[in-house]
Each structure stands twice: as C-alpha cells, then as structure tokens.
Amino acid sequence: MSVKNYLLSDLSKGQIESISTKITIEDVNAFAALSGDISPVHLSDDFAVKKALPGRIAHGLLIGARVSSLIGNSLPGAFGILQSFDIEFRSPLVPPQEIQIQGEVTNISEGTGQVSLSIIVTASGKLIAKCKAKTIVSLGTQTANI
Amino acid sequence: MKSESKKILIEKITPIFRDIFDQPTLTISEETNASSVSGWDSFAHINMIVALENVFDIKFSTRELGEMKCVGDLLRLLQLKGVSG
C-alpha cells in the first residue's frame, strides 16, 4: 500500500479518492481487544440476532478507523493532519464484508491549509456511514521521507 | 476605519468567536489577541479563520494571516475585503 503526498496546491475542490477494504470477523475481534468494547452485539451472533440484527456487527469506530486510512494514506495522505472528524452511522455492517470508502474535497482554505472532506462508506451499494473531516495540509514543498 | 464601522464589525464577528472558542459571553475588542482569549490555540485559530471565510465569503492569504496579530488587524483585513461594518 502506498501513501500519497498531496500538498495543498495539489488539491482542488471536488477531488475524489476512494479505497476498498474488507472488514473481517477477525478484525472485529481484534478491535474489541484493542478498544475494550466487548459488547456482545459485536462478538455474539446469537445475542445480535435476538436484538433483531442479522448477526454480530462491526464496531462503528472500526469503520471510522478504516476511514482514517483513507485520510492518512490517500486524501490528503502523508502531509495531512486530522483536525476534526464527525461520523454518522446509517446501517449496521455485518462482517465479513467489503466496504468502499470515498472521500471528496469540499472546501479548501488556502491561507490556513485547512481542507474539508465529505466521506461516504458503502457496502454493496448500501450506505453504511457518512463522515465529515477537517485536515490541515502542508503548504510547503517538502518531499516525502517515508 | 470609523469607530462606528469597527463597532458594527465587532458585533458581526463576536458570535463567530463565541462559537469557536465555546464562550457564550466572550467580548472582544480591537486589542483582543490569542493570549487574551482562553483556548485560542493554533487549531482554534484555523477554525476561526475558516469560519470567517465561510460567513463572509472571502479568502485570506498565508501572508495576511501571518501579519494578523490582533482583532484590530482582522477588522482592517475584513474591511479591505469588502466586509462592511
């Protein structure tokens, strides 16, 4: 996996980057251990079904963590710092499932370097989450050293 | 800039400052600067500038922002960009 190196001058309003990634049952188990969120809704199919869900569901912030990979690796990539992040979940995600994450530049403040992003997460065409993020992107001409 | 225009501009930007710095009773003057407002750090500064850009439909350059040291400087910049008081 490569990391993009967009500087502020490389970005434009409407610019889009997308990634696809799979969320597996093993990912959910690992995220439960990492986060400490061991709710049975994430770890037990039986429990989830009794709650009228199709099966155990992925943690919302695991999905958010994958959105972080879009921001950190692709839009804007290495020269961006995440400043704020809002996420709204629209549908539960039952692993294993492939998700598509698409980010679009919605505003650029050239003076401050702040770049706003609108991001959607879908699985098989179904909307899973909508996000808004603000990043600070380097103005300068540094070259990547990674 | 006439004092009445400054007063009106301050009234226009005060709600933005109150929202960004999460201080509902914050009052500002020409002398107000980053050291006189709790929470005016680099991220809050960026949020404030972008909020001003969006509200007044203007853009600041890096050079302009570098020269801005207090609210008085901001008021002068806003006026130069056609934001009327």
Q: What is the pLDDT of residue B4?
A: 84
Closest CA to A120 of A70, A74, A81: A70
pLDDT per residue as tens digits for the range B20-71: 999 999 999 999 999 999 999 999 999 999 999 999 999 999 999 999 999 9
CB spacing of A112 vs B50 below 8 angstroms: yes
Q: Which two tokens stand for residue B15?
A: 């709600």
CB spacing of A114 vs B62 below 8 angstroms: no
Residue of A nearest to B67 (CA): A111
Distances (CA, A) of A126 to A46, A73, B13: 24, 24, 41
CB spacing of A139 vs B62 below 8 angstroms: yes
Q: A141 pLDDT band (50/70/90 cuts)? A: low
Q: What is the pLDDT of residue A2?
A: 87
Measure B6 CA to nearest chain A CA, in Å: 23
Q: What is the pLDDT of residue A41?
A: 97
Q: What is the pLDDT of residue A36?
A: 98
CB spacing of A111 vs B54 below 8 angstroms: no
Q: A144 pLDDT band (50/70/90 cuts)? A: very low
Q: Residue A15: helix, strand or coil by DSSP?
A: coil
Report ipTM (2 d.p.).
Answer: 0.80
Q: Does B51 touch chain A (CB under 8 A)?
A: no
Share of chain A above pLDDT 90, in %: 92
- Amino acid (1-letter code) at residue B85: G
Element holding A134 (H helix, E strand): strand A126-137
Residue of B nearest to A108 (CA): B50
Closest CA to A79 of A131, A1, A28, A11: A11
CB A81 within 8 A of CB A136: yes
- Give the C-alpha separation, A142 to B37, whole Å: 33
pLDDT per residue as tens digits for the range A50-73: 999 999 999 999 999 999 999 999
Beta-carbon contacts below 8 Å between A and B: 36
All structural domains of chain B, each given as residue ranges with its CATH number in brackets, are 3-80 (1.10.1200.10)
CB spacing of B65 vs A110 below 8 angstroms: no
All structural domains of chain A, each given as residue ranges with its CATH number in brackets, are 8-22+58-137 (3.10.129.10)
Q: Does B59 touch chain A (CB under 8 A)?
A: yes
